Amino acid sequence: MPSDLIEIIEKSHSEMSKGQKRIAAYITEHCEKAAYMTASRLGEVAGVSESTVVRFAIELGYDGYPELHRAMQESLRKRLTAVQRMEVANDRFAQGNVLESVLTADAERIRSTLESIDHAAFESAVEAILNAGAIYIIGMRSSFSLAEFLDYNLSLIFPNVHLVRNASGSEIFEHLMRVKKGDTVIAISFPRYSKRIVNSVDFANSRGANVVAITDGPTSPIAKNVYAALYAKSDMASFADSLVAPLSIINALLAAIGLKKHAEITETLRVMEAAWDEYGVYEKKQGSDK
């Protein structure tokens, strides 16, 4: 079955009823609006009943309208340019409380991620990091902030952590040229997926490294044939993506690794605290004579 909603609609079009074709046409032409409509509202604008919309979803192979609704949003995120994202966000938030809407949606993404996370894959990811000869972390564009956060914290624990910078063209393979079997590559990517990170994952796999993918779902191009895949819910907050759920997964990885490496981390932090204190890295509390 094709993974993209528009492809699914195109392949099923000849078998649709007239009403279903009207729904299909509206979704294809106005996905940026349909992706945030209820089944009732979509039926209204397409000129069909709500039950026809539900049957349409089932005919396409989805469990019901909620699953079709999610597929529309995923398809939208993969196709929209940054300018189009901004226009969609403006339409969504124009009439509402932006702060409440965004924070409520972020909380829901974390809850949904927790409900669907593969615990076995999570444990495999932890073990791959703990047992790695070397650790490479890759995240392009907006995902680079997540990669940098993970790099900073893992570097407090392990001496062999390498952050692959936002390199262009063939430079990224220069960063990865020493990747080998026994190493772990942590790849982070969300729609729209960067071709550079997809190519990097393919290269790491070809070198025999254990790849841990942090991405949005099994249809992600970096989720195929990897050692462990961790899926986090992500959506458009505006022109930027919401990355709170993937950050929560990263925090969970760090916490799990911290439990396993408690003694080493404690000693490292003790040495670092002494150095920070000696060189005045952090501001002292008011009233302190130190």
Pair (93, 164) in one structural domain:
no
Domain annotation covers residue 213: yes
Domain annotation covers residue 92: yes
* Dist. CA 70–CA 40, nearest whole Å: 16
CB-based burial label for 132 (10 Å; 0-12, 13-18, 19+): buried
If you write DSSP's letter for every residue of 120-166 in order, what string do you get?
HHHHHHHHHHHT-SSEEEEE-GGGHHHHHHHHHHHTTT-S-EEEE-S
Pair (31, 88) in one structural domain:
yes
Domain annotation covers residue 280: no
CATH number at residue 253: 3.40.50.10490
Instruction: State which residues form the domain around 189.
Output: 117-258
Pair (164, 74) in one structural domain:
no
The tokens of 195 are what? 């071709």
If you write DSSP's letter for every residue of 76-120 in order, what string do you get?
HHHH--HHHHHHHHHHHHTTS-HHHHHHHHHHHHHHHHHHH--HH
Q: Dihedral through CA 162, CA 140, CA 177, CA 268, nearest 10?
A: 10
List the pLDDT tens digit at each of the 290 positions of the chain.
345 788 889 888 888 999 999 999 999 888 878 887 899 999 999 999 999 999 999 999 999 999 998 888 777 766 655 555 556 656 655 556 778 878 888 898 899 899 999 999 999 999 999 999 999 999 988 899 999 999 999 998 999 999 997 666 667 888 888 999 999 999 999 887 888 899 999 999 999 999 999 998 888 999 989 999 999 988 755 556 789 999 999 999 999 999 998 888 888 888 888 988 888 888 876 655 44
The tokens of 221 are what? 């191009």
Pair (69, 131) in one structural domain:
no
pTM over 0.75: no
How many domains are there within the chain?
Answer: 2
Q: For residue 198, which amino acid is it?
A: V
Domain annotation covers residue 225: yes
Domain annotation covers residue 87: yes
CATH number at residue 54: 1.10.10.10
Total length of the chain: 290
Pair (192, 242) in one structural domain:
yes
Pair (225, 138) in one structural domain:
yes
Helix 244-260 with 144-154: angle, nearest 10 deg: 10
* Dist. CA 126–CA 116, nearest whole Å: 18
In sequence order, what are the residues at sequence separation of 6 or more whose Cβ sits closer than 8 angstroms to the Cβ of residue 27? 5, 9, 34, 42, 72
Q: How remote is the C-alpha of 281 from its chain's centroid?
A: 34
